[in-house]
Amino acid sequence: LHLFNIMVSEDESSVTLLDFEAARPAAEGGRQTVANPAFVAPADRRGFDVDRYALACLRIALFIPLTSLLAVDRGKAAHLADTAAARFPLPPGFLDEAVREITRDPAGDRSGGSARAPGRPAERSRFLPVEPGDWPDSRDSMVAAIMASATPEREDRFFPGDIAQFGTAGGGMNVGHGTAGVLHALHESGAPRCPDAEDRLLRHAKQPDSGTPLGFYDGLAGVAWTLERLGHTAAALDLASLVAEQDHEGLAPDLFAGTAGVGLALDALATATGESGLHAAALRCAELSARPLRAPARPAGTAGKARTGLLYGSAGRALLFVRLYERTGDTALLDLAAEALHDDLSRCVRGASGTLQVDEGWRTMPYLGAGSVGIGMVIDDFLLHRRDDALDRARREIVQAAQATFYAQPGLFRGVAGMVLHLARTNVGGPGTTPEDIRRQVGCLSWHAMSYQGRLAFPGEQMMRLSMDLSTGTAGVLLALSSALGDRPAQLPFLPPLPRPHEPAP
């Protein structure tokens, strides 16, 4: 029983239930065997209690469809109910029964105990240690959660993150899901350093795991870049030299794992250290990244088949071309950047509300990682150097895509945090980018927020467990909030704060 297995007739005269593969005789009183993650009952529920739990989740999910968070902490039910009551004109106590059903203890019921009362909203709102917008208290709370989650005794990772940590060699150390990304967020937010984590990263850099990728977000290039930012210049140069010496021909052209990310890292390291050989390697990466743009045009009707956006699409390559143009002054690089950005925009579609989003064929995506918002961020940088009316129109429509009142996840690359980062950084101006607008979007992060050992934390991909990493979890939210609320705006790698409309371009 869940949202997609309930059909209401067009005239609203009847309700039909679908999919009975989990049905069984009521007399069996069995436990649940299959379920939608947002409606899965606790293991102690049996028989009709399973359905009662799902119905309680349904009542809340009709207003705030985030009941998958209950798998992490059922206490979130009361917080979701209060959020719904504050946003919708619900009768007093409309969701109290649902909260009571979700949080009750069946064992206590059988022993004669009473169900836990939902409590008054003022009491239930204490579920969160601090609101995300209460800066810098929220920063301190998230930093404390990250530090409390550390597992220095483990060799495979230092901070818990997405399961992608275990998908590649050295995944627990990289920027996307590992230690390097967390350390970057801590550094950018002005948090105290974590010497144990830095030592672990230095040890990994000195002796990388066999098979560790070269890329920026998934591998060694990102680790080298992070170490230099933290002041470990010698170790960063040693690792960067190792990356530069490798054959890059077999890499994808993207920012996440390919030549665009490697090139950006090597060029930044060359600028910071004066190692000219790394500049040459970065230019070679740019040549490799430009190859797909020179390939034959795709046939019509292939929208959604090629990967698009900042991390995996042409926008990431455009970012490399823009940064290299800023260093070399070679306008051919700006030509390539424009071509790459228009390439990604060719796979975007305008919605009925005027928002521009990536067309994946079966859904549209606004997000920072693989959606239109990531494209918009690079367009902002490109337009500092060259006028392009089509790109300017596109970025204004992309800003609208970052202003929705609901996103399914909180994360940096696939959720609310990425929208906060873009709205805080863009120099488009106008509706949706005012401090009040940004504060409203920051407030939406409380819908997903959780508590870890009494500190503010956030769930990762699919929201089935907490995550501390940059791509999906608490570190990414920390970076976004620091960009929006911090005294010194934090930055995503290679995307520093932009000059305001009245300021000169760098």
Q: pLDDT 10s per residue in the chain (506 long)?
A: 899 999 999 999 999 999 888 888 888 888 888 889 999 999 999 999 999 999 999 999 999 999 999 999 999 999 999 999 999 999 999 999 999 999 998 876 654 444 455 555 545 458 999 999 999 999 999 999 999 999 999 999 999 999 999 999 999 999 999 999 999 999 999 999 999 999 999 999 999 999 999 999 999 999 999 999 999 999 999 999 999 999 999 999 999 999 999 999 999 999 999 999 999 999 999 999 999 987 765 554 554 468 999 999 999 999 999 999 999 999 999 999 999 999 999 999 998 788 999 999 999 999 999 999 999 999 999 999 999 999 999 999 999 999 999 999 999 999 999 999 999 999 998 888 999 999 999 999 999 999 999 999 999 999 999 999 999 999 999 999 999 999 999 999 999 999 866 555 55
Cβ-count burial 318-337 (b if 16+ within 10 Å, e if not):
bbbbbbbbbeeeeeebbebb
- Overall domain count for the chain: 1
Residue 58 belongs to some domain of the structure: yes
Identify whether 92 is part of a domain.
yes
Per the CB < 8 A criterion, the answer to whether 98 and 115 are in contact is no
Domain that holds residue 99: 22-127
Angle, CA of 269, 480 and 285, to the nearest 5°: 30
Q: What's the pLDDT score for residue 109? A: 64
Distance of CA 57 to the CA centre of its chain: 25
**Angle separating helix axes 76-87 and 48-61, nearest 10 degrees:** 40
What whole-number distance in Å separates Cα of residue 490 and Cα of residue 478?
A: 9
Domain for residue 66, yes or no? yes
Say if 175 falls within a structural domain. no
- Domain annotation covers residue 105: yes
Is residue 488 a part of any domain in this protein?
A: no
Prediction pTM value: 0.94
Does 34 fall in a domain? yes
Is residue 384 included in any domain, yes or no? no
Burial grade of 293 (CB within 10 A; 0-12, 13-18, 19 or more): middle
Confirm if 60 and 38 have CB atoms less than 8 A apart: no
Give the containing element (helix H, strand E) for 350: strand 348-350
What pLDDT is stored for residue 114 in this prediction? 45
Contacts of 378 (CB under 8 A, 6+ apart): 310, 315, 316, 318, 319, 322, 337, 341, 495
Give the C-alpha separation, 219 to 340, whole Å.
24
Question: What is the C-alpha separation between 468 and 473, in angstroms, rounded?
Answer: 5
